[in-house]
Structure 1
Amino acid sequence: MKMNINFKVGFIIASLVLFTSCADMFDPALENIQNKDRLLERPDMVQGLLLNAYLRIPTNSFSFSEVATDDAVTNDLNSGLLNTGVGQWASDYNPLDQWTNSQSAIQYLNEMLSVVENSEFAANPVVNQMFINRMKGETYGLRALFMYYLLRSHAGVADGVLMGVPILLEPQTANSDFNIPRATFESCMQQLYSDIDKAIELLPDNYVNISNTSMMPVLYRDLGAETGEYNRVFGDDAKQLVSGRIVRAIRTQAALLAASPAFNLDNNQAKWADAATFASGMISEIGGLSGLDPNGVTWYNNVSMIENLGAGDNPSEILWRGSVGGPSNNLEQQNFPPTLFGNGRVNPSQNLVDAFPMANGYPISNPSSGYSGETPYTNRDPRLRQFILVNGSTAGPLNRTINTAQDSDTNDGLNKVETSTRTGYYMRKLLRQDVNLDPVANTGQRHLQPRIRYTEIFLIYAEAANEAFGPMSSGSFGFSAYDVIKAIRARAGVGTENGDAYLESIRSDQDAMRQLIRNERRLELSFEGFRFWDLRRWRANLTESVRGMRILNQNNYSSINVENRVFRDHMIYGPIPYSEMLKFNALQQNTGW
């Protein structure tokens, strides 16, 4: 910890310019060394502290931690996530560690809080105070976000007590006491909620230009701000910065974590109710069930929408996103099949393929499903072919047919070369099919990088409401867990021809609904970095071997074992880094690590 925190502010800012490639944000270029007094004279440097935290948000890129679960494997045999899946992660080797990244972000944020009040961002005192308030609100919101990621990665039981992480609210210096014990998980959650409350007080729900003062939050109307002044600080130009709505979404995510079996050891139903309440409020604001984006399933490949997205704007499926950026082909380079000049890195599992129901809504294991092992991809949930390249799918700008059979005459076949699939499947989700990797005609495309999607919020509500109130209770919210799942499945084209008879058959069964909700979450959020954490917070089965599909003669299908999953009970929780345990004896390690 000390190596990441024991620095001078000047060094932070100089390093920020070097490592973020955002030098164009600072004009003129920063000198190599700046002391704290100089920092206060340069508001752009103060903003740099906040920018550093934004750059550390884990969802700025896809983790593909699914390859450490039953959902996928990777053909990159040097992958740390592959090692994690086979049980070879440890307190001194944790590819999913968040300790260093998130603690460092919190240090920047605490430094921000220590200087922002004395910074001058505008000569007009009202505008200056609004800038200060906005940046404080962003800072509190981001500090809560990084606490969430720390708890998800490192909270756990130590000596019989559910522990969190050290709570750091002041910037640490060379003279600080670094030997700080972990706070309890509950104390960490209360601190997270406190930061959320402070952020909500200071931030508007959305950044948007207003036309009259009646649209202005009371705090800033009472401050005497005029419309133009308010728009300068909280208007359209601030879109994608942390807002009140984003902060409330972070609270919703954290509340679900706290309610889950691994972190709710006494099964406190009030925690499930809190998560449901937080999620329902956000859903109600977008019109309830009608706010579910009808095009949300293929948010990553809605070409016209992505290409015409205005600066800072979101499609209705996306609550918060990173930069769209310019044309790129990195995702496709890593994950297209070999015949499309890709490396085929993420290979979906047969386990995941089997999780997609039939188009009539029945699980493939149900006698009423109509599933046939001789034609396993026929009449399936449409999301299967939207998210996964199965044998015979077409892909790429020329709609090339992908042959994944073991006896394929192309390198797309099972285990043909090092970039071939290990499971008989390739990932399709997230990828733009109009990207061309052919060296002769290489083209990239714009990509969406969501940090939070509304579908996640709907699924949080469904899970929490089912646990707190049962599957059919709407309470004061106007919609139930059942209602949400029905809407999500109907949007996907599941059960639309028979009134979703399977869902109707379990509508009053809380246990069956729980399994269905978890399965819908698995499908809808696949390849977006959720499965690894979901299995752990649910205390679910983590030893299911990853299976694939061997195909011969285009009609002989047989399931094969691809990769064993090794799990020991203590791996429900991640470890505190071994290096930190060596340095600081006040820290307690999670049991088993």
Structure 2
Amino acid sequence: VLTLQTAITEKWELNTELIWALNPVFGFGQQEYGMPRLTVKSSTNLIAQGTLAVPIAQQELFYTNKGLPINEDKNWDYAKRYELKTAGDQDRFYIHKGYETVNAHFNREPRFYSSVAFDGGVWYGNGVLTPENALYVQARGVESYAGPKDLIYLNVSGYWPKKLVNYLTVYDERMTWEPYHFPLMRLAGLYLLYAEVLNEQGKNYTEVIPYIDKVRVRAGLPGVTDSWSVANSTRPGKYDNQQGLREIIHQERRIELAFEGQAGWDLRRWKEMANVMSRPLQGWNIYEGQALNYYRPRNLVTPVFNVRNYLWPIRSINLTINDNLVQNPLW
């Protein structure tokens, strides 16, 4: 999990996956927005906010531990994903042992646990670097460490983009940041772009899949053909046609590059933004202290995105200056 988390937070000179990155460091004024309060001392610290919220739909994009979408895995109960379950000893490196949370948080892929912080989820770091004593998120209700303290310093969904926080950053009574250079392009992204190009050219899946599998194997997952097999998937052989493989590549990019500023551009060029933005953004019932009441999805906001929003309008002054310009459709 830590290896995957440091794919973007590792120092420039040590990160062999980094191709291009921003020159200013990502630290003070950025990381604290993605970090929940984890200790008694941090619960009274008003410097950091932890306000970057991940919608439920985003965390549901991440695969199961079989490398499949949660609604395509024969062995993962999608219908009961919001029912409660208590973490056992076998879950202790991902979910705090004895903590009650929803089924949705169990048996997920490593990138889920390295990218998303959630109620009951283990947080390796923040000054505690022994797995046996790792901190964990407590987010239910106003009395919890990470719960809402007022109308400003709160996380509206109950999920944090853990991936954006260096594990050496400490949020306690004070904050100390371990900065890094935020990536613009990573090797994994290039592999998936190349896979997408090959698929759109109509190449056979045997030419495309090796580049997807480079990313999946690094993430601790089986290869595409092994995951989408008769034994594991409700859609076996999904990869053997262009549309099915296109869906796999698109979801793989949204998982691998989550929170890195890529999804918006991808969804626009795929012409999938309108579908994604037509559904309400949901989070948990964050003010409730009991698990049964907390884990009830609630609508936070319903975005508005129309067909015309795929292209931005040309400024009126530019149209006036140059009468050869034509305004974009529907503007």
Within a 5 Å distance, the mapping from 1:89-488 to structure 2 comes to 295=3, 298-302=6-10, 306=11, 313=13, 315-323=15-23, 328-338=27-37, 340=42, 341=45, 342-366=48-72, 368-371=74-77, 372-373=80-81, 374=83, 375-395=103-123, 396-398=126-128, 399-405=134-140, 407=141, 409-410=143-144, 412-413=146-147, 417-440=151-174, 442-473=175-206, 480-488=207-215
Where do 5+ consecutive residues of structure 2 fail to align? 84-102, 129-133
Q: Which of the two has higher C-alpha Rg?
A: 1
Q: Is the 8 A contact 2:66 2:73 kept in 1?
A: no
Aligned to 1:200: none
* More helix by percentage: 1
- Residue deviations 1:168-201, cap 9 Å, x none? xxxxxxxxxxxxxxxxxxxxxxxxxxxxxxxxxx
Residue 185 of structure 2 aligns to a residue whose secondary structure is: strand
Counting matched residue pairs gives 282
Match of 1:546 among 267, 270, 281: 281
Query: In the alignment, residue 534 of structure 1 is paired with which amino acid?
Result: D
Alignment identity in percent?
23
Deviation of 1:457 (Å): 0.8
Aligned to 2:325: 587
Distance 1:361 1:428, change over 3 A: same
Q: Is 1:508 the counterpart of 2:227 in the alignment?
A: no
Task: Choose between structure 1 and 2 for higher RCO, CA contacts under 8 A separated by at least 6 residues.
Answer: 2
In 1, Cα distance between equivalents of 2:247 and 2:28:
36
Query: In the alignment, residue 296 of structure 2 is paired with which amino acid?
Result: S
Q: Is the 8 A contact 2:183 2:260 kept in 1?
A: no
In 2, Cα distance between equivalents of 1:587 and 1:436:
52
In 2, Cα distance between equivalents of 1:415 and 1:585:
55
Residue 322 of structure 1 aligns to a residue whose secondary structure is: strand
Q: Is the 8 A contact 1:471 1:482 kept in 2?
A: no
Where do 5+ consecutive residues of structure 1 fail to align? 1-293, 474-479
Deviation of 1:317 (Å): 0.5
Q: Is the 8 A contact 1:361 1:381 kept in 2?
A: yes
Deviation of 1:566 (Å): 0.7
Residue 283 of structure 2 aligns to a residue whose secondary structure is: strand
Q: Is the 8 A contact 1:364 1:370 kept in 2?
A: yes
Q: Is the 8 A contact 1:297 1:492 kept in 2?
A: no
Distance 1:376 1:462, change over 3 A: same
TM-score, normalising length: structure 1: 0.44
Residue 376 of structure 1 aligns to a residue whose secondary structure is: helix
Distance 1:404 1:439, change over 3 A: closer
Aligned to 1:250: none
Query: In the alignment, residue 380 of structure 1 is paired with which amino acid?
Result: R
Query: In the alignment, residue 19 of structure 2 is paired with which amino acid?
Result: L
Q: Is the 8 A contact 1:338 1:419 kept in 2?
A: no
Distance 1:459 1:412, change over 3 A: same
Deviation of 1:331 (Å): 1.9
Aligned to 2:100: none
Q: Is 1:527 the counterpart of 2:259 in the alignment?
A: yes
In 2, Cα distance between equivalents of 1:430 and 1:301:
7
Query: In the alignment, residue 424 of structure 1 is paired with which amino acid?
Result: G
Task: Report the aligned-residue RMSD.
Answer: 2.9
Q: Is the 8 A contact 2:196 2:246 kept in 1?
A: yes
Deviation of 1:560 (Å): 1.8
- Residue deviations 1:310-351, cap 9 Å, x none? xxx4632011223375x9432223322255442223211111
Distance 1:581 1:466, change over 3 A: same
Q: Is the 8 A contact 1:296 1:317 kept in 2?
A: no
Residue 300 of structure 1 aligns to a residue whose secondary structure is: helix
Residue 67 of structure 2 aligns to a residue whose secondary structure is: coil
